[in-house]
Amino acid sequence: EDKVVQSPLSLVVHEGDTVTLNCSYEVTNFRSLLWYKQEKKAPTFLFMLTSSGIEKKSGRLSSILDKKELSSILNITATQTGDSAIYLCAVPNTNAGKSTFGDGTTLTVKP
Amino acid sequence: SAVISQKPSRDICQRGTSLTIQCQVDSQVTMMFWYRQQPGQSLTLIATANQGSEATYESGFVIDKFPISRPNLTFSTLTVSNMSPEDSSIYLCSVHRDMGTGELFFGEGSRLTVL
């Protein structure tokens, strides 16, 4: 059974801080790892990672995959209150098309 | 990119009643996924709805409790039957944006509170 574990489960920082969120996985037939941001109800896509060592970047957010360590990190620099959300890591099952989600990291950024 | 309309957005329900959530996609898709997110928890897949066949349920979820319809390639419904307070959750409909990568689009979600 596929397994995705995220850490920490929650994090409280102040504006301007840099945070690193972790995701580790145990899956058969790895295809990709995805990060989502959930602010209210619907998660929205952030990054899709397939290759080890290649950083994906979008503004203050970046992410990288380490296939050897079966893990990924999501970095957010110069955090803002608008970054407060649940960050979800997910790994799709290549056969069934469904995705397994980690428990998420709840990030709270205080002014 | 797909546009997914989900309703109701939220509802407050009485114990023992049933509620049907609708999901409409603006393009034809093979698979539609129904997820549940209980308070403080992550997303758990309830079932995969395929057009023309019965839904495939995940361990711990049964058709009697969560009947699903998939009458065509753009629409699906999930019914939460005989609700109890433990069913209070966000229910999310999703489809693949890209089957090659597994990236998902999500509907706006339905927040159900069972009293």
Integer Cα distance of A96 and B31 in angstroms: 10
Residue of A nearest to B99 (CA): A97
Task: Give the dihedral sign, CA A90/B104/A18/A62.
Answer: positive
Contact A41 B90 (CB under 8 A): yes
Tell me the range of A93-102, B36-45, B77-86 where mean pLDDT is highest: B77-86
High-pLDDT (> 70) share of chain A, %: 97
Cα-based distances in Å from B38 to A96, A103, B16, B35? 23, 11, 18, 10
Per-residue pLDDT tens for B56-107?
Answer: 999 999 999 999 999 999 999 999 999 999 999 999 999 988 767 788 889 9
Tell whether B106 lies on the interface with A, counting CB pairs under 8 A. yes
Give the position of tokens 């966000």: B90
Predicted confidence band at B50 (pLDDT cuts at 50, 70, 90)? confident
State the pLDDT at residue A66.
95
Residues in chain A with CB shorter than 8 Å from the CB of B97 are 45
Beta-sheet pairing, A99-101 with A105-110: unpaired
Confidence category of residue A95, pLDDT binned at 50, 70, 90 = low
pLDDT level of residue A96 (50, 70, 90 thresholds) = low
Tell me which residues of chain A, numbers 77 to 106, contact chain B at a CB-CB cutoff of 8 Å: 88, 90-94, 96-104
pLDDT at A36: 96
β pairing state of A10-14 and A105-110 = parallel
pLDDT band at B51 (very low <50, low <70, confident <90, very high): confident
pLDDT tens-digit series, residues A18-72: 999 999 999 888 889 999 999 988 999 999 999 898 999 999 999 999 999 999 9
Q: How close, in Å, is residue A101 to chain B by CA atoms? A: 6
- Residue B74 token pair: 């753009």
Residue B12 confidence (pLDDT) above 90: yes
